[in-house]
Every structure is written in C-alpha cells, then in structure tokens.
Amino acid sequence: MAKIFPNSPAIESPPSACDRTAEEAAEAAMTVWRKSLLFNCKGFTVYDSRGDLLFRVDNYSATRSGGEIVLMDSSGKSLLTIRRKRLSLGEKWLIYNGDEVENPIFSVKKHVMLFGSEGLARVTPCRGFQNRLEESYQIEGSYSRRECRVYDGRRRAVAEVARKEAAAGVALGGDVFRLIAKPEIDAGFAMAVVVVLDQMYGP
C-alpha cells in the first residue's frame, strides 16, 4: 500500500513555491486520512504539505445519533466542536469554538437533494456572529466521490475536497483524500466542514 504522507516520495509532490502565485502559495494543502491515531477509535488524521500532523479527530464513533465531535490540533487542544442539532427541520449541525457548549458560531444544514442538483449543504453564521463572520458558504459536488467545493458568498471556491493518488497513479481509496483551503478560509474550519459532510454523506 502506498504511503499517505504528503512528503513521501510515493506521493505526488505539490508544485514548488516558485511555480505558484503568492495567493496560491498561501493555500493550505492537506492530506486527510479517515483514521484515528488512537487504537480502536474512529476519527480523522490530517497532515500538512510537509507531512507533519496538523489536525486530529479521535471521538468519531456513533455521532450520527446526536453526539459531539472535537477537532483538535496536533497537541490535542480543542479547536472546534461539532454537535448535531436535535429537533430541527432537516439535518443540521452546529460548530462551536473550542469545547464550548453554548453560542455556536456556524450552522451547517444538509441540502434537500433535487434531481440535477449539486448542492450538499449550506453553512451560515449563527446569531451574534454575523458582524464578524459575514460570509456564508455553499458546498457543492459529491462527497462520496471526494469531488466537492466550498463557495463563499461571492461565489469564490475557497476550499476543495479531491481524490489523492500516488505518484504512479495508484488511487489511495476514499479514506485518504486531499483538502485544499484557500487563504480566504481558515484551514481548521474547512476541516470541520469536511467532518460534517462525512456525517451527512459518509458510509
């Protein structure tokens, strides 16, 4: 099996900084592994473009029924907490700062799929955060195929989920994929959105 780490010779190398514009160079190119570092736990492990641990999720099991998921940094500090909103019309998830239990900063609502529609979910700032977080986001594409994008309110693609392949063109499977976060969106927040998509559309 090919190694998943971005700095491994077996993995397709990202373009060098001299080949990219200043804006592109500020992108966060991540490799997401749908696996916890802890034994017998479900979760995510996220590496940066150098192959260093960036984010982790270790408490991923049985959350579709209404538990919580904590996105941590490499040292285990809570960055964002994701909870499913109970008794809501349609499937909705709330994102909180750190391990707070009140005052969510974003809500993510699953899109009602219609024929020919590519919409997956809509992300909106919660009450009290509209002034600081003006943008809302639309997610389109197919998460199951690992082909989707996050668009901001100006219809700019600010994040993308894509398949990852080894240098020889060997597909690594759906549990290993790429997450690109543009400078306009926080990399941790982009990963939190991926966790919600996995809850909504994952196996």
Number of residues that this document lists for the chain: 203
Q: In this predicted model, what pLDDT tens digit does every residue of 31-65 receive, in sequence order?
A: 999 988 776 678 899 999 999 999 999 876 544 55
Q: Looking up tokens 């941790």, which residue turns up?
A: 188
Confidence of residue 18 (pLDDT cuts 50, 70, 90): very low
In this predicted structure, the answer to whether residue 132 has a pLDDT above a threshold of 90 is no
Looking at the chain, the number of H-run helices and the number of E-run strands are: 2, 12
Q: In this predicted model, what pLDDT tens digit does every residue of 78-122 receive, in sequence order?
A: 999 999 987 767 789 999 999 998 999 999 999 876 655 678 999
3 touches 176 (CB < 8 A): no
Question: What are the DSSP E strand ranges found in the chain?
Answer: 28-33, 44-47, 53-57, 68-73, 78-84, 92-97, 106-110, 119-125, 137-142, 147-151, 157-163, 176-181
Residue 131 is predicted with a pLDDT of 53
In the chain, domain spans: 63-201
- Mean per-residue pLDDT, 180-185: 95
Residue type at position 188: G
In this predicted structure, the answer to whether residue 177 has a pLDDT above a threshold of 60 is yes
Kindly report the pTM of this predicted structure. Answer: 0.82
3-state secondary structure of 189: helix
Residue 36 is predicted with a pLDDT of 82
In angstroms, the CA 104 to CA 9 distance is 41
In angstroms, the CA 13 to CA 20 distance is 14
How far from the centroid of its chain's Cα atoms is residue 27's Cα? 14
Residue 26 is predicted with a pLDDT of 77
Q: Which of 34-38, 68-72, 138-142 has the lowest mean pLDDT?
A: 34-38
Distances (CA, A) of 35 to 2, 17, 45, 157, 176: 16, 30, 6, 27, 9
Which CATH fold would you assign to the domain 63-201? Answer: Porin (2.40.160)
Distances (CA, A) of 49 to 46, 69, 186, 200: 10, 24, 16, 27
